[in-house]
Homo-oligomer: A and B are copies of this chain.
Amino acid sequence: MQYFDEPTIVVFSGGQDSTTCLVWALKRFKKLYIMTFNYHQRHSIEIEMAKKIVNILKSEDRKKYLNWLKDDKIEEHKIVEINVLSNLLKTAMIQESEIIYDEETGLPTTFVPGRNILFLTIAAAYAYQKKIRHIVIGVCQTDYSGYPDCRDSTIKALQATIKLGMDYDVIIHTPLMWRSKAETIKLMQKLGGLELYKYTHTCYRGERPACGECFACELRLKGFEEVGIKDPLEYKNQK
């Protein structure tokens, strides 16, 4: 499955999953249009790390991180500002409130309803304008927190909605949909990009070096442990 002749959009947060997807897309597509959404998320550090990773991949340094990446394939990196979520919604992913599980919904209070639908609709509108047929996003159904907008059915329903609503065929690629964290790390290993993980942001507390203790850090570390690889990210504490 290669699309050497075609460009793609990549929805890129600067996290571990989306960095894996970015490398996956670099391997398969001709040109990348990267979109990072700034929705005033809890930690702006995520966006800084996204920029850093893109800068590495655009510079001559990229060969140190991906020895097969000869050319700069990144056409642009757009930081897309979205105020509407922080203006309208109260969630711990946006505001500085405590992260807990909401007993009523069974979801962590970090759930931003409709976030991926919104991001993908905007990405598709941009794809329409640029006549790009592909969008890559790192959503994952095996994702620990069970966000319903990461589910395969949501993404497929949305692709159908976009087709109907724009009269335009966009393919939403979700290479991580059925991968565990460990399998995602293995994919990155196969792609030869493990060292890039040094710059990816995961910690829910927004700390760098990462706290190593929040549930996001724990999950990440567990993935590396399963594969038997050391996480190149720096941690303050590591069990």
Contact = CB atoms under 8 A, between A and B. Distances in A.
Interface of A: 78, 80-85, 87-90, 105, 112-114, 116-118, 121-122, 124-126, 128-129, 148-149, 151, 153-154, 157-158, 160-162, 164-168
Contacts of A166: 113-114, 148-149
Contact of A153 (B78, B82, B157, B164): B164
B167 A105 contact: yes
Contacts of A116: 165
Contacts of A149: 164-166
Contacts of A124: 113-114
22 contacts: A78-B88, A81-B83, A81-B87, A85-B125, A89-B126, A89-B129, A113-B125, A114-B166, A117-B121, A117-B165, A118-B118, A118-B122, A118-B125, A148-B165, A148-B167, A154-B161, A154-B164, A157-B161, A157-B165, A158-B165, A160-B161, A161-B161
Given A114-B122, A114-B125, A88 B84 contact: no
